[in-house]
Amino acid sequence: VAVGCLLAMVMLLYMRGVNRELPLFLVGLTFAAAEGGARLHLSPLLVSLAAGALIANLDEREGRRIHLAIQQAGLPVFALFFAAAGAGLKLDALVTVGPAALLLVALRALAIWWACRRFAPSEDPRLKQYLWMGLISQAGVTFGLAALVSRSFPSFGPQVEVLIIAMITAHELVGPVLTRRALVASREIRAEEAGGGA
């Protein structure tokens, strides 16, 4: 966490001082943090999370700028990440963990549905009825955590990684559809806007 805070300070100094080619700078800094963190036995994921959290809380405007820069540089990075993650998957384990993944997906969806029905604010009944649909999608840091489990526990980690990725895949297939249905049903968007990709 301390190294992540140091990384955040470096980012803020660069953004206020140099302020050029921010997406490229972030990719380079992230690569350096990942390589340096691995050599120092630090978790690059935790270092990056700490840096992002500190920036988001210290300077909201700079946090938005970093978010936009990450979106600009994200596509090739995500493509490489998913290719590397997919290349290391043992799909034969999917046969054994597939049913468990579907069961966990269903239990997670049920828990989210129940929690939203029970604890969503009552002043807007649409929240109790539709909020759960927008919370099904899941990805991002979870992929990194799945890979970390696989590396940390060689005996059972690869099976857990396949289980987690199978769950994320199911969430990503169902989640956006449910989110769209919730937005249309709660009249936050019109059906023709959702269909047109607006």
The domain spans of the chain are 1-86, 90-194
Contact status, residue 23 vs residue 70, Cβ threshold 8 Å: yes
Q: How far apart are CA 129 and CA 133, in angstroms?
A: 9
Q: How far apart are CA 88 and CA 101, in angstroms?
A: 19
Give Rg (Cα) of the chain.
20
Residue with tokens 């963990």: 97
Q: Which helix (H) or strand (E) holds 168?
A: helix 157-185
Q: Which residue has the higher pLDDT, 141 or 9?
A: 9
> CA angle at residue 22 from 62 to 64, to 5 degrees?
25
Contact status, residue 74 vs residue 139, Cβ threshold 8 Å: no
- On whether the pTM is more than 0.75, the answer is no
pLDDT higher than threshold 50 for residue 142? yes
pLDDT in tens, 68-110: 887 777 777 777 766 766 666 666 767 777 788 889 889 999 9
pLDDT class for 173, splitting at 50, 70, 90? confident
pLDDT higher than threshold 60 for residue 194? no
Contact status, residue 27 vs residue 11, Cβ threshold 8 Å: no
Residues contacting residue 2 through CB under 8 Å, at least 6 positions apart: 50
Q: Mean pLDDT lowest for which of 47-56, 83-92, 123-132, 133-142?
A: 83-92
Q: How far apart are CA 172 and CA 89, in angstroms?
A: 18
Contact status, residue 51 vs residue 12, Cβ threshold 8 Å: no
Residue with tokens 């828990």: 111
> CA angle at residue 127 from 121 to 128, to 5 degrees?
80
Contact status, residue 128 vs residue 122, Cβ threshold 8 Å: yes
